Amino acid sequence: MRIRIMRKDLLWIAVFTGIRILSYQSAIAASGPVLLSINDADPAAVIITATGLNPSVNDSSNTANNGVDLLGFFAASEFGMTLGQDLTGTLVGGNTGVSYNDAYRDNYSTGGGSSYTDLELYVDINSPGENITESFSTSQPAFTGSWTIDLSNLGIDAAALPAAGTQGEILSGFSGDPGNVIGAWEVTSPVPEPTATSLLALGWVVIGTLIYRRRTKSPNPVSAGKQLS
């Protein structure tokens, strides 16, 4: 059975798709620019990467020790998260020139209650540069560099990590000294490498398309003879 798609059907599909895209873009805009891209496919190697975008607002209310909160990052409370001191990386926030080296849980997004679903990134109090003010400016990138953290080693349940496509807000500071929401974080999924099977299937599709086009363009010998006579 063949399904016929009329032009008006295609028009409605295009309109519906356009509405969905605009709605998705509006949702992103509501949270501000995505400042941190996160790949948590491997809980033992969660990669947090700066996108190079500028924050949506100016904020210089906190130090590197206060850092930033990734609001609502965990899907469940992670009260028992282990303090991960001296974690090496190159992720710098607020143009301090000092890399974050500690991660912990926080409860700002839950109103200071007993549910700790935020992920705090900061410079440990015993580290050089922890008193430097983080200066987030709309005229320069909010973050630079990248940081790979073994969250499983810090006691985080893999089931509590956000799925690909999840977004949340980034707060300057933490629950004890909150600043402004400066932008958003987003979990992305890695682009899978093409397998031999998928490449072979793609090749057959291309060959089949070429053969079909060639046959449809070839003149019918009988019809050609009638036209000549």
* Rounded Cα gap, residues 137 and 179, in angstroms: 13
pLDDT grade, residue 221 (50/70/90)?
low
The model carries a pTM of 0.72
**What is the predicted pLDDT for the residue at 213?**
65
Taking residues 130-135, report their average pLDDT: 98
**What is the predicted pLDDT for the residue at 29?**
41
* Rounded Cα gap, residues 71 and 92, in angstroms: 18
Of residues 189 and 111, more confidence is placed in 111
Work out the number of other CB atoms within 10 angstroms of the CB of residue 38: 24
Q: Which helix (H) or strand (E) holds 26?
A: helix 7-31
Domain boundaries, the chain: 32-187, 196-228
Mean pLDDT of the residues in the chain: 82
Taking residues 150-165, report their average pLDDT: 96
